[in-house]
Each structure stands twice: as C-alpha cells, then as structure tokens.
Structure 1
Amino acid sequence: MRKLISTVLLLLCIASVQSQSYLGFLTDNYSGVHGVINNPANIVDSRFKTDINLVGVSAFIGNDYYGVNFTDIFDENYEIEDEAREFPKDKNNLVGNIDVLGPAFMFNINEKNAIAVYSRARAFFNVNDINGETLEGIIDNLDDNINFDVNQGSAYASAHSWAEIGVSYARIIFNKEQHFLKGGLTLKYLQGLGTAYATGNNLSIDFDANTATGNGSVTTTGEVAYGYSDNLEDDLDQVEVVSGATGVGADLGFVYEWRPDYAEYTSTDSKGKTYMPKDVNKYKLKFGLSLTDIGAISYNGTQENYDFNRTITQNEFEDLDIDELERSYGTPILSDSERATLPTALHATVDWSINNRFYLNLNTDLSLTSKDKVNASRITNVVSLTPRFESKWFSFYSPISVIQHSGFQWGAGFRAGPLYVGSGSVLSLLISDETKAADVYVGFKVPVYQSRPKDKDGDGVLDKVDECPETAGPEENYGCPWPDTDGDTVLDKDDNCPDVAGEVDNNGCPWPDTDEDGLLDKDDNCPQTAGPKENNGCPWPDTDQDGVLDKDDNCPNVPGTVANNGCPEVTEEVQKTLNEYAKTILFDSGRSSIKAESNQVLTGILNILKEYSTAKFKVEGHTDSAGSAKLNQRLSDARANAVKNYLVENGIDQFRLSAIGYGEDRPIATNKTRAGRAQNRRVEINLVKE
C-alpha cells in the first residue's frame, strides 16, 4: 500500500502539464492557421494567402507542489521527491495538457471570407484540491509506523484524450473608416481516445500505529467514485480507439480593430471602389474575444464506487493493493454512457501596434469549467503580457505570464519562415531555482504570404486602382497622366478650353479680341470698343468735340479749328478788338508806369488772351517823334514790357508773350500835328503766327 500511494502521488506531482498551448506564438499576426486555436476570427484579413501547417507540438510542464532547479534535472542522480523544494497547501491543484496540431491549412477565399481545416490531437488531465500538506509526511510515516491523521476532504481528478477535425469559417462583418470587425466560427468533429475520472468526498485517514507489535489500526472515512471509458479497461498498451466515442464541439470569436490611420491604407479607383493592401497590419489597437471548446464526447464506460467508512488493522492496510482495494471497497456499476466535457474557456486579448514592427499584447485565458465538475477537463487561468517584434519572415516574442498555480513565468520564442520554436517559461527556468513549470513548442509550416501590391509605373498608385498601370500619373487622376488635348502645355484638368490651344496665363484659352481692333483683350484697356494700339486699344477722345482728337488737340478742353490744331483761332476781328483795347492803355507822362484808369482795359485784354490760351502774342511799344530817338526807343521798350509784366502777373503764361519797343520807327499817323502824334503814342498786342 505504501508503494501504491507514493507512486500515485509522485506521478501526479511531477507529470502535470500546464494547459495553455503555443504561449507567445499565438499573439503573432503571422501565426496563420494556428490563430483558430484561440479565436477562429483571426484567419480572415490575414497576412497569408494560405498557411499550411505540417506538424506542431506544444507541451507545458508545471505544478504548485514541487519547485525545482532546472539544471538539476539533468543530473542522473537527481531524485525529485527528495531534492525538489516542496510547497504543500491544503489544496494543491495539478493539470496537464499536450497539444499536437497536425496537417492543417487556412485560405483567404477573398477580401471578406476565409476558411481553415485542421487536425489536432489533445490530452488533458486535472487533479484539484489535493491536500499537499500531508503528502510530505505520509510515505515516511508509513515506513516509520508513526501516527498521522489525514483530513483530505473533497478531491477531483480527470484525464481525457481525444482527436479533432475542425472546419473554421471567418468573415469581415463591418469595415468602415477607422472601425473594423470580423467574426469566426469553428465546428469540429471529436473522436475520443479515452477518458477517466475520480472524485472523493469527506476523505480522511487516521493511522494509529502500534510500534511494538505492528498491530495498530487504520480508520478511513469518505466515498470515492471513479469511471473510465471501455477502451481503458485493459492495459494501456492495449488501448483501442472506439468508434462510438464521438462528439461535436465549437469555437466562436470576434476581433475588433481600431484603425485611426485608415486613410493612409485606402486607395480608391475611378468607380469609387476602395482597396486596402493585404500584406500590412492597419490597426493601432486590436481587441479579441472568443469562446473555445464548447462541447463534449460520449463514451461507453464503467463507474466504480468505494465506501471508505471503516476501520482495519495496520497490517491489513499495509498489505492492500489495487485488486484488494477493488474487492474490499469497490462496487462496479456499468454505465451506458460517460460524458467527457471539453475544457471550455474564454479568451480576451488587446494588441497595441507601437509601430509597424513592434507590438505589445495583453492576453488572458479564463476557464469556464468548474474544477469540481465530474469528468471535465479545464485550463488554468493565465494573464500574459507579450512584447514582440514582427515582420513577414521573422518574429520574436517574450511572454511574461502569471499562471494559476504556477505563478510567474517568463519565456521567449521566434518564428523564422517555416519554423516556429518557443517556450513560455524558458527564461524563468534559467533564473529561478524553484521553477514550478516548464514548457516548449516547436513546429513546421508552409507559409504563403500576401504579396505586396504592385506599382509597375512607380507613381505611388497601386496597380489595383491604377487605370494606367504602365504609365505614371498622379493619384487624383487614378494613376493616369493628365492629357493635354490641344497641346498648349496646359493640362486638360486646368484648361478652360481643352480643345483649343490657348495661353497658360488665360487658363489654356486663347486671348480674345472682342472689339476686333487687333489688340487682344488682355492688352486692351477698352476691350469692348475698338481703338488704336497706340492708345492701348481705346479710341482717341475729342473732349471739346471740335473734330480734333485730344492727342492732336493743343486745346483739348476748348473747341478750336483743325487749322489751329484744335485751338480757337484769333480772327482779325479779335485782333482788332485786342488792339483797340491796347491803344487805350494810359501811362504816366514820360514814364512806363500804367495809370490806374487803364485797369478795365487790361482786364478785357486778359479775357481775350485767356480765351485763346495757346496763342502767342507780341506786345509792341510805339512813341511819337518828339524827343530824341534813343530816348523814344527806351521808353517804348519799357512800356511794352510793363504791359507784358502786368499780363504775366495776372495769369498769362510768360512764354506766350514777348515784348519789344519800336520807338518812333512805326508811326501810324503824321507827327506834325497834335492829333497825329497822339495816335503814334500807343501799345499794340499782335498775334504771333508760327
């Protein structure tokens, strides 16, 4: 009996295997068909056209009772039950899992749909609520015949192995701007390979040893029941697969991606159809939620019950073996069916794209199967934080995890083309001397990646939306060069007259000549009225409307005659009037000063000169012959200039006037009479004809 107990307890402790698979690898966007393991939605909008798995094996070893130094295990003299550090509790929990992913493939049917088909073999066992505080002393106490008392209470154990063929379908549900949602479903056919379970209730052992005679007593309480499938009834090396042990299972999952930079990945063709490249990740944050392993397998099997409520002698207890135990305590019960429940679990993940190469993933796996459920497999709860480097042909990741029962684990793994290798605990194994878990996975696949979209002409517009893939052109014209139909160097998109050659400055249109005066409107100051080039396309004005254009009119604001260049012409009558005024100008005797009574006359002269503003006049001074000729010449000169100065001072341009004295040389009457001499003393203002 001692050997039986010690062997069972030792195997349960050292052979437990953690239930998570491919820890770290499943966070990779290039995990391919492996993505269906945790979430079937992963396969659509994948970085693969197709991914073919050849074989992959994942195994995790761990427990919460023994802690070991990893390097000591390779010592051939190492005895784990003697040298490992023990962590006994009133409820130690042990689980186990081996996951083999056989031939499998995934395929993206089109942009919105993908499928996967896979084969998989799995093995689980669970041992819950074992009172580990008693394990370290039971074997030694039995050997030494020492009294001890074990109060186990309730305990549960199960083991299950099965194969499955799964078919997964995933589809994009919603894809609008920065929001993207996809979902997936896996249905799987299950072939049972064998199941066994055991439950205990109110279990206790009271060992009252008699060291002198060896005739002590052992009192046990509680009930134990265990069952197993029919194919496990014989020895394990004779296990056969039974055709009746089948079932169905299902996985369901969704993935949401937040794509704030969606516009950078979106191209649109001329028909409004959008395209996103398939070879790159487009999200900043990705959220995944899935429910896996919904289902069970029905077996034909047997259940046996044991009633331990009795007292036997010390010798009888030590001599018990399995066969004796069955005869003394067991009651076989045949059962038509044993239902083995799958390890149903909830998975949630958040993936942060730091940039297009570095990512940070937070993942949790939660068991939805109660640990005290009979004949049910369950996973252990896990929370993992995994930084990773990711590219098409190579990824590296280092998961940092807290695993239920086994505590902190730190691992590393990589994917290099067809090879993937990793461990969720390799680094913690190397740095800790009391490791409670160890794991490893390895596999080979044939990845066929999504190709990078082509851009044959190198214009930055992908061929998928490029209407001229062989000729470079701008994105706004869907990859085609802008035409220049009329060949005027103004592209049709900017040409207001695309079919008629024109000028760049007039938006591709020829400049018009609206008034047809030979001067283009752009240079014509009067584009609606014909005019000569010399006047910038405007007709010459005739402001005074005297028939002489302003450009030729010396008096543009005063009507005149053509003969006098547009200025009014001084007629003989005007000239006569002018001189009649001039002759009446009075001077002080013998002097050149003008008398005040001549002001009215001078005003009349000023009005006439101003009326003929361009005419030039000569002011002439004359005297009689009285006195010397020299004196008369000087006096006539002075009086002519006195009149000129008066006229200039009162607004007449000095350049229109000249003054000259003729003395007594030009009499108009005889100097022999008083009346004649009076006529000769005069001033004349005469028109200067040019």
Structure 2
Amino acid sequence: MKKILFTGFVIFCISSAKAQSYLGYLTDNYSGVNSVIFNPANIVDSRFKTDINLFGVSAITGNDYYGLKLGDLFDDNFDIEDDANKSPKEKNNVFGNIDVLGPSFMFNINDKNSIAVFTRGRVFYNINEVNGTTLENITNDFDENEDFVVNEGDFYATANAWAEVGVSYARVIMDKEQHFLKGGISLKYLQGLGNVYSEGNNVNIDFDADGSALPTGGTTGSIDTTGEVSYGYSNNLEEDTDDFEVVSGATGIGADIGFVYEWRPDYKEHTLTDSKGQSYPLKDVNKYKLKFGLSITDLGSINYDDGTEETYDINNTISEEQFENEDDFQDVLESFYTLTAAGNTTKAVLPTALHLNADWNINHKFYVNLNTDLSLISKSKVNASRIANVVSLTPRFESKWFSFYSPISVVQYSGFQWGAGLRAGPLYIGSGSIVSLLISDNSKAADIYAGLKIPIYQSRPKDKDGDGVLDKIDDCPEIKGPEENNGCPWKDSDGDTVLDKDDTCPEEFGEVTNAGCPWADTDGDTILDKDDNCPEEFGFLENGGCPWKDSDGDSVLDKDDNCPDVAGTVANNGCPEVTEEIQKTLNDYAKTILFNSGKSSIKEESFIVLGDIVGILKEYPNAKFTVEGHTDSAGSNSLNQRLSDARANAVKTYLIDNGVDQFRLSAIGYGEDRPIASNKTKAGRASNRRVEINLVK
C-alpha cells in the first residue's frame, strides 16, 4: 500500500494498548535512571552514585474489543478474528505503546543535586470511540451475503513515533528532620519519526449485500456512506514505507516535572554527626516511612512541517466491486469522494499525564506502593497521543541487589491486570499482566519489559578498624577507638595508667586515686593533702596534719592542757590554780553555812553563800576539794563525829546537785578534833562549829 490506510491502521492498532511503561519496576527505589521518565525528582538522594542504562524496552498491548487466553496464541489453529472473544460497542477504544530507553545515565553532583541524560524511542497508537461493529465488519471483508448498518458517528485515530534526548535536573528543596522534599525537571528534544492520524465526523455506513446491479447481470453489494473524514500523515509516509526515512523538520520540545515528599520519623537513625556537629546522611538506605510523589510528564508537541492533511466529504454510494477494484482506501477516497480541504498536518501532541504515587516502607525490605496514572489529554483531541488511565497497587521486596514486585492494576478499558517482575543486579524484567494472562480466559491486555544496566550503588559507610565509628567521621580510621573520642583511642600522655579523658593532670604523672594527679602538700608540713586534715595549715603528723590548738589561749597546747577550754597556768598543766586567796574566800564562805541546831540540815539563808561557792568551784573544773565538817566539844565525842560527817556530806550533796562534778569532791567529818578556838567560851565554840572546803593538792 502506498499510504497508511485507515482500515489497515485500525486492524494494526487493535493489538496495542498503553498504560504505564515498566509497570511495577518504576516503584523500585533501585530503578535508577529509568525512574526519571516517571518522575524526574527521583534521581536526587537516590541509592545510586551513578546508574547507566544500556538498553530497556517496554511494550504494552490491550483494548476493550478483543479478549483471549494466553495459551491460545500458541495454538496453530487459533485465529484471532474467528476464535477471540469480541466485545463490540458503540465506542470501542484501542491504545498502544512501545517505549525503548536507550543509553542513559544519572549521577549525583553532590548530596543535594543530581542530573540525568537519557535517550528514548517511543511509538504510540490510539483509536478512540470507534464503533465496534465497524471493526468487526471491516475485518470480515464486508461479507457479501450479509447486510449491515453502522452508525459510526465521530472517531479519532492517531499513530505517532518519535525519538527524544532528555536532560534532567533534580535537587533537594527541603530537609528538615522528619520532612524531606525534592523536585526535578526534564527538558527533552523531540525528533519525529512518523505520524498519521484520522478523524471522522457523523460517519455512517450502510452496506446492502445485493444493492447494486452488475453490467454483466446479477448484483453486488452497495456501500452507502455519509459524513466527513479527515486524515493527516508525515511526508515520510506519503509513498512506499518500506524505505523508512527520518522526517525532516519534524521537531519539538517536551518537558516533565515532578516532586517527591518523604516523611522520615526515624531520621536520627539515618544521620551521623561528627565532633564538629557536621551531619552525614546514610546514603545507602531509604530513610522514609511514607513517600508521596506527584509528576506531570510529556508536556509538549512535535510539528511535522511538511506533513499533509486532507478532508473528504464521503456522502456517496459505491458498489462493492468499485471498492474492491481500488488498491487501497486512499484510492477509494480520491476516486469516489470529494476533497473539501487540504493543508499541513496538525501538530502531534504528546501523551501528557498526571502521576500520583504513595509508597509505604514497612520495614526497609517490604514495601507497598499505590500509583495512579491519569491522562490529561482528551479522547477527542485530534492528533494527540493518550495513555490509558491506570490504578495499581504493588507490594514488593526490595534490597540493593535484588527486588521482586507484583503489581495489581485496573487499566482503563482493559480491566483487571496482575503481574510480576524482578530486578537482579544489572537485569530487570517483568510484566504487569503475566499472572492475569495465565489465569484468565478473556485477557484484554498484555505487556512485557526487560533491560540491562550498570548500577553503581551508594556504598555502605566503611569502618576499617571495626570500632563502630564510620571512617567518614573517624579521626583515626586505622586504629580502634571509642565513639566519644571520634574513633581514636584515649591517650595516657603521662604514663600513669589514667587515660587523658579521666586524668585531671594529663601531662603530669599522678595517682589513680587522685584522678591522675600527684598528691599535693599544700601547707608544706610533709603530710600529703590526701592524709592531711588541715591541708591549708602547717601541722603535725600525730595531729592528722593539723596544728595543735590552744583553745583557751593560756599558752598550754590542748594536747598538754588538762583544761583546754579554761585558761590556766603552765605550771598547772593548763588549768587555773586555786590561790591561797581563793582558798581563803572559799573557807570564809563555808564558815558562814548554817545548820539547824544539832542537825545536818542546811538553813535556807545559807543557800546564797552555797551558790557563790558553786560558782568558784566551777572556775576550777580540774581542781579537787574536800568538804570538811567540824563541831565544838559540847556533847559526846561520838555524837560530834557523826554530826560533822553528816554536815560535810550535806554540803557535798548540795554542791553536786548544783553542778559540781561529784568526782571532784570528797567529804569528811573531824568532830571536835580540830578546834580553831577555845571551846570554853561561847564565841570560841561558835567558831569551832564550821565547814571548810579545802583544795586537795
């Protein structure tokens, strides 16, 4: 055929459908440069130092017209037209895509910036809102024995192939502990490889199996058509397509833009901080608990400047014989219908789509991903490629060298799909529909993808000396040391076995028990401070390093002072001496103590004198005294002896009761044996009845 015929175009496209390329694989955090086609923000803060894609291809087929069982395709007797399940509707839809990712690479400029360069070849096919009856009857070659009428109405068909070279840039926008945001953009230079499209308005087909008479007799079918048909094509499809040529002047600009937000509640576990407070994120692990992505891809179009668009009025009736005598549908249009307009082709619009993505990191190995791809291109837009809307839920196991995923999807027009895929080092392969193809008898979609790459992963931070401190923040990466000393062993500069971190005097040999410092002798008394009870005062060993005190200031040191709290004399070992004057005063007071006649009871008027005596005795706390009782000669000697003893002890008792230490006092009665005056006179006898308090020397 000289041109891409509408009929051939319909039949060819019915086997292809488009959802997301590389379905399942692009949810993997290790999809690397491939993920840039889905969301350009993915390449920054990735698990790769660099990632080089050698070759990858994704092909997807599906529709809402044909349904079949995968095993039927391997049956030599299977005929898709006769044996497949058909679901003709007033508005059937067909979508197709082949996506080839050529040599491409990404690398990190630094922690916050990354770039990627990619090459890509793409083919899209779309037939929208075509009447399924039309398809069924065209593929049956207009059965001459059966009438049919198709109210086609409006339909749209597009096929576009192009190559693109893209450059992507992504950077970290926000990194605030739990909240992380990155964004990216791709700019793409587009080279058109071929474009054909068609549009029908109010198209109706009425086939009458015997509606036309033949000149030789008999009848043949007649085809009565109404409406308007437009189609356009690039100049390389105008003649024979066997010798394919790149379209000259068919270029365009495209763009992708995307953002990714990550919630990182455990951000501290993925960050190392050195002694200077500099933070280092662990680059080889995923840090998020939840991740949300949003992107818009394939903004742009391709202008086929030398392309041709023609519009025909198809209101006419022709015979089946006339139709079959023409080489192709183009000849039918030129021979029997009216050309109403001709000009340049409409620009080919890219399949602009919105992508929404949520990823749950269950435990750093197992993930669940929810993804939605929504077309932003109307089905009725002329010469516009369009993706099929898809929602997919993908559980996956993910690690550095191996991932396995199983996407479960609902694809617009093709329904439920279940697939599986894996990544093993440089190889990735999978299908978004392999499981459903194996278990379903009425599959309306199929896809497969595979590719090879050279992944260079972010390395696990090294710890050469095995001390638990990563080399990146280890000041001594070749020698084991504790984390608190930045990975270096603690020093013992003075060799005293006390590490510098615990040594108060790290440059001076000291004692373990003194925090690494030598013991001092602050007061220079040869007694080390650790043993010196008075380290700031010169003292004596036998006094615990303290100077001897003289508490009462009598020049007799407390250690030698029998009365350390009372000033005394050196001669009396620091105690006050009882002078003759004091002794006389005591006895002057004592002689005035009065007793009841013939008794040992002290008269009350003597209590004042006794109080004075108590005061004097307390001034000499270490002196001992004897309380002596004396009588006159009246009465018998034995009676006087007893009375003198009783009176002496009565005074002693009074003194003790009023605070004088009992061990300092003794009492004795001398009766009438020691008179100090004559007992012959009244005055003499009165003098002899007395009490004396004498110092015991």
Same fold, judged at TM 0.5 (above): yes
1:374-405 Cα distance to aligned partner (Å, 9 max, x none): 33322222222222211001111122222222
Map 1:484-633 → 2, pairs under 5 A: 484-487=492-495, 492=500, 497-500=505-508, 515-516=523-524, 530=538, 532=540, 540-583=548-591, 585=593, 592-594=600-602, 602-622=610-630, 633=641
Letter in 2 for 1:52: I
Aligned to 2:87: 87
Report the CA distance between 1:24 and its aligned residue.
Answer: 0.7
1:386 matched to 2:394? The reply is yes
Report the CA distance between 1:587 and its aligned residue.
Answer: 5.3
Aligned to 1:194: 194
Letter in 1 for 2:244: V
| Structure 2 CA distance for partners of 1:425 and 1:672, relative to 1, 3 Å | same
Helix, strand or coil: the match of 1:231? helix
Helix, strand or coil: the match of 1:153? strand
Report the CA distance between 1:183 and its aligned residue.
Answer: 3.9
**Could you tell me which of 407, 412, 429 is aligned with 1:404?**
412
Aligned to 2:466: 458
Aligned to 1:223: 228
Map 1:20-35 → 2, pairs under 5 A: 20-35=20-35
Report the CA distance between 1:463 and its aligned residue.
Answer: 1.3
Tell me the distance in 2 between the aligned counterparts of 1:671 and 1:149.
177
| Structure 2 CA distance for partners of 1:98 and 1:604, relative to 1, 3 Å | closer
Report the CA distance between 1:138 and its aligned residue.
Answer: 7.2
Aligned to 1:267: 272
Report the CA distance between 1:147 and its aligned residue.
Answer: 4.1
Letter in 1 for 2:661: D
Tell me the distance in 2 between the aligned counterparts of 1:674 and 1:38.
142
| Structure 2 CA distance for partners of 1:136 and 1:215, relative to 1, 3 Å | closer
| Structure 2 CA distance for partners of 1:276 and 1:589, relative to 1, 3 Å | closer
| Structure 2 CA distance for partners of 1:295 and 1:490, relative to 1, 3 Å | farther
Is the contact between residue 18 and residue 437 of structure 1 (CA under 8 Å) also seen in structure 2?
no
Tell me the distance in 1 between the aligned counterparts of 2:620 and 2:113.
101
Aligned to 2:262: 257
Aligned to 2:45: 45
Aligned to 2:76: 76
| Structure 2 CA distance for partners of 1:542 and 1:67, relative to 1, 3 Å | same
Letter in 1 for 2:554: D
Aligned to 2:318: 312
Tell me the distance in 1 between the aligned counterparts of 2:307 and 2:613.
149
| Structure 2 CA distance for partners of 1:577 and 1:103, relative to 1, 3 Å | closer
Aligned to 2:203: 203
**Could you tell me which of 417, 430, 433 is aligned with 2:438?**
430
Aligned to 2:377: 369
Helix, strand or coil: the match of 1:351? strand
Report the CA distance between 1:487 and its aligned residue.
Answer: 5.0
Map 1:139-150 → 2, pairs under 5 A: 142-143=142-143, 145-150=145-150
Bigger Cα displacement from structure 2, 493-502 vs 264-273: 493-502
| Structure 2 CA distance for partners of 1:606 and 1:305, relative to 1, 3 Å | closer
**Could you tell me which of 452, 457, 466 is aligned with 1:449?**
457
Helix, strand or coil: the match of 1:154? strand
Tell me the distance in 2 between the aligned counterparts of 1:478 and 1:518.
43
| Structure 2 CA distance for partners of 1:332 and 1:451, relative to 1, 3 Å | farther
| Structure 2 CA distance for partners of 1:183 and 1:628, relative to 1, 3 Å | closer
Letter in 1 for 2:224: T
Helix, strand or coil: the match of 1:124? strand
Letter in 2 for 1:369: I
Helix, strand or coil: the match of 1:192? strand
Letter in 2 for 1:97: N
Helix, strand or coil: the match of 1:238? coil
Tell me the distance in 1 between the aligned counterparts of 2:419 and 2:445.
11
Bigger Cα displacement from structure 2, 124-133 vs 258-267: 258-267
1:298 matched to 2:304? The reply is yes
Is the contact between residue 168 and residue 184 of structure 1 (CA under 8 Å) also seen in structure 2?
yes
Aligned to 1:128: 128
Letter in 1 for 2:233: Y
**Could you tell me which of 265, 278, 285 is aligned with 2:283?**
278
| Structure 2 CA distance for partners of 1:336 and 1:669, relative to 1, 3 Å | closer
Report the CA distance between 1:80 and its aligned residue.
Answer: 2.8
- Structure 2 unaligned residues grouped into runs of 5+: none
- Structure 1 unaligned residues grouped into runs of 5+: none
Helix, strand or coil: the match of 2:103? strand
Bigger Cα displacement from structure 2, 126-135 vs 292-301: 292-301
Helix, strand or coil: the match of 1:464? helix
Tell me the distance in 2 between the aligned counterparts of 1:603 and 1:246.
131
Superposition TM-score, scaled by structure 1 size: 0.86
Helix, strand or coil: the match of 1:686? strand
Is the contact between residue 141 and residue 147 of structure 1 (CA under 8 Å) also seen in structure 2?
no
Tell me the distance in 2 between the aligned counterparts of 1:372 and 1:649.
127
Letter in 1 for 2:650: A
Aligned to 2:103: 103
Tell me the distance in 2 between the aligned counterparts of 1:601 and 1:207.
159
Tell me the distance in 2 between the aligned counterparts of 1:607 and 1:193.
131
Tell me the distance in 2 between the aligned counterparts of 1:172 and 1:312.
66
Aligned to 1:119: 119
| Structure 2 CA distance for partners of 1:575 and 1:203, relative to 1, 3 Å | same
Seq. identity, %:
70
Tell me the distance in 2 between the aligned counterparts of 1:192 and 1:568.
127
Tell me the distance in 1 between the aligned counterparts of 2:690 and 2:618.
22
Is the contact between residue 632 and residue 688 of structure 2 (CA under 8 Å) also seen in structure 1?
yes
Q: CA RMSD in A?
A: 3.8
Report the CA distance between 1:22 and its aligned residue.
Answer: 0.5
| Structure 2 CA distance for partners of 1:157 and 1:567, relative to 1, 3 Å | same
Superposition TM-score, scaled by structure 2 size: 0.85
Letter in 2 for 1:193: L
Tell me the distance in 2 between the aligned counterparts of 1:604 and 1:167.
117
Helix, strand or coil: the match of 1:561? coil
Map 1:148-163 → 2, pairs under 5 A: 148-163=148-163
Report the CA distance between 1:424 and its aligned residue.
Answer: 0.9
Map 1:234-253 → 2, pairs under 5 A: 234-242=239-247, 245-253=250-258
Letter in 1 for 2:441: D
Helix, strand or coil: the match of 2:471? coil
Is the contact between residue 20 and residue 97 of structure 1 (CA under 8 Å) also seen in structure 2?
no
Tell me the distance in 2 between the aligned counterparts of 1:601 and 1:278.
102
Bigger Cα displacement from structure 2, 597-606 vs 63-72: 597-606
Is the contact between residue 12 and residue 94 of structure 1 (CA under 8 Å) also seen in structure 2?
no
1:432-491 Cα distance to aligned partner (Å, 9 max, x none): 332211111122222222221111123333212222212233444433344454456665
Tell me the distance in 1 between the aligned counterparts of 2:529 and 2:670.
62
1:344-388 Cα distance to aligned partner (Å, 9 max, x none): 333332333233222222222233333333333222222222222
Report the CA distance between 1:204 and its aligned residue.
Answer: 0.5
Aligned to 2:63: 63
Letter in 1 for 2:403: S
**Could you tell me which of 415, 418, 422 is aligned with 2:423?**
415
Is the contact between residue 570 and residue 612 of structure 1 (CA under 8 Å) also seen in structure 2?
yes
